[in-house]
Structure 1
Amino acid sequence: MAQLNHHDVLAPASLGPVKLRNRTVKAATYENMARDGLVTDQLIDFHVEHARGGVAMTTVAYCAVAPDGRTDHHQILWRPEAVPGLQRLTDSVHEEGAAISAQIGHSGPVNNRKSTKTRPIAPSRHFNKQFLRVVGAASKDDIERVIDAHGAAARMAIDTGFDAVEVHLGHNYLASSFLSPNINRRKDEYGGSLANRARLGLRILDAVREAAQDRLAIVVKLNMDDGVPGGFWLDEAMQVAQWIEQSGNADALEMTAGSSLLNPMYLFKGDSPINDFAAALPEPVRTGVKLVGKHVLREYPYADGYLMQDALQIRSAVSMPMILLGGVTNRQTMDEAMSAGFDFVAMGRALLREPDLINRIAADSATRSLCNHNNKCMVTTFTNTRCVLRPAPVENPSKTTNITERAAASGQVG
């Protein structure tokens, strides 16, 4: 049983080898501001604004470890051409006094091959209902390639000035899909028992730790519940969290939920803006979304700290540092998280609404977030992620128009 902490959320803290100015993290929210896998000035400005707003660390979402690990072709890809832009990005955030983390992972079955021009892979042959395509099973060579690519990504993160990496084991991206009994029907050492289904994720963490040593903080984003019948669930997540702790390959756990592949709204809670999604799409897809959208984009009630009760089950199973995600919008919820034994809090939509929210809470603890959880920010992941209640930026001429890219990206606003 973990001992309860009573940290001051706004006091300095350490995350692995990294010194942070407080215990708040800008969660990974897919920006769609990179272009052709490279950093843009717009992406730098986005993270600088959040760094200037008071968070201790901002998370770049998301940085694919391999070409077939993207969900669309614009996402950052770890390769030599990306190095100068990534270095400018980390330098710019550091100038504001914040740390910066790169969310690294492989999209697996969430990859939209029409955009990435690559072959998606899944644990087993899988019919993707979003893409209306069959995704093939990953070979042993694919598995080894993906593991090695995570290690290479960690080395490049060090070289480009990142302070941390967030290893993505959630949302039914590749490692998460291996964990899911619903998706993983393999008969080899990567399927069947929980130990087998967890093998890929644990081997990825081995590779990341070997590459990073103590030069990067390693955060693991792990699903607690896929939000689908027969999926990965809390009892198994508790065991996997214990295995991660025993491995010594992570400095903190950030628990999440839902499936970009099968139930993207399960993580977010609040409104499901089906009509807004439909309006952004061409016909005949628009009509289809209006007709069946409520079955795909289901609605769940919002409450502050909505993942806390499930995350407390994980908290009871491990003693390593944990980051609370989900409905953290005010000082009261932050203090409750600290009192309940969490070490850090991660904020997504509230900071899209008000990037300076941490500074404002520091100045007045009664400050309440203006985010109303309408989730229309999810629709903006089609172009450039933003809160629709803030003034619109200059429209980016590079728009995506494919529903499958949008559905995959939507799973990233956390």
Structure 2
Amino acid sequence: MAAVAPPKQPGTYTFASQPRAVPQRKKYRDPLGQQEEINPPQYGNIMYDRRIVRGNTYAQHTLPAHAQPDPIEIQRQQENRRRAIARKRAKEQLRPRSPEPVDGRKHIDVQTELYLEELSDRVEEADVEIQTDAFLDRPPSPMFVPAKTGKDIATQILGGDLFDFDIEVKPILEVLVGKTVEQSLLEVMEEEELANLRSQQRAFEELRNAEFVEQQRLEEQERRHREEKERRMRQQREVLRKEKETAEKIAARAFAQSYLADLVPTVFGTLSDNGYFYDPVERDIEQGFLPWLMDRVTEQLEKSERGRMVLDGLLREVVSRRREAYERLAKTAHTEEPKAKPAPESKPEAPKVTIEERPQAAPATTTETENDDRQDEGGDDDEEGGGDE
């Protein structure tokens, strides 16, 4: 028997045998029933032959030798098997059953069909035999006939002496008719067997198509379930993400409130300390009125000082003039004293110098203040010019 190589990959059908020469087969059997001992033919049982693939092959998936089984596919097959078993168990549980018998009685199977039939534990069997053509026997070896050495002698036989057609044709005709009837019966049986095979094949194809449709329906149902599961998981992840985002926003808002609770007073205090928040009246007084007042006071002091200086100059001039006048009078008195005493002269009055100071009010606006300053400067110039005169 040919050596069978072990399969390379479990789950994939492979077969390999060692090459060998095909022995020559004789045309006829050995009449003595003796077979040659050289290269005797070896026969095996096909039930245990690994070259025979059992089961249906319409759904068999041929995988390469290096392919590994998909664990997801195996898990899916196991899940389908468990679902089928659970569905079968559920159908058995949901199938209506007869109530339990009362005490002292028991259920008995009773035929309720229209026509009763005899029930028996023995299955009816029928034996069918098919006669096949037998092997042709090897014709016997011809007898050894030595070469002729004598003379041939013939005997004349007339018609009807040795052969009677009616008698001799009867067995031949029986053989021909029997053979013809037998061949026709064989052909009819072969046609019936082919018809049965076709009907079985048609039923098998219908069953296979129904199983294939059921398989497609189950696959579509599994796909819908898987898509629904993924959609639900996406929705749940989105809900969790939104919840997490909401919690983070709430935490950030609480942290911002707690952080900004003391920040606003601190910022306002710092800005107030740095002078960013002020009273407009006070700021206007500090930046507008007080500088203007100081300028006016300084200007008034300068005017007073200039007036005193002018007055001092005028006094010096008047004193110097009166002294010169007195000196001249003294000289003339010394020269005219012997003649006559002149009448006493009236003293010349000193010129009066008055400096008018106009009261000035606080400016309402900066423009009015500048105009007043310009007018005051013009008045001062006039007064100085008058004083000089």
User: So what's the TM-score if we normalise by structure 2?
Assistant: 0.14
- CA radius of gyration, larger in: 2
Higher relative contact order (CA 8 A, sep 6+): 1
Q: Higher strand fraction: Structure 1 or Structure 2?
A: 1
Q: Higher helix fraction: Structure 1 or Structure 2?
A: 2
User: So what's the TM-score if we normalise by structure 1?
Assistant: 0.13
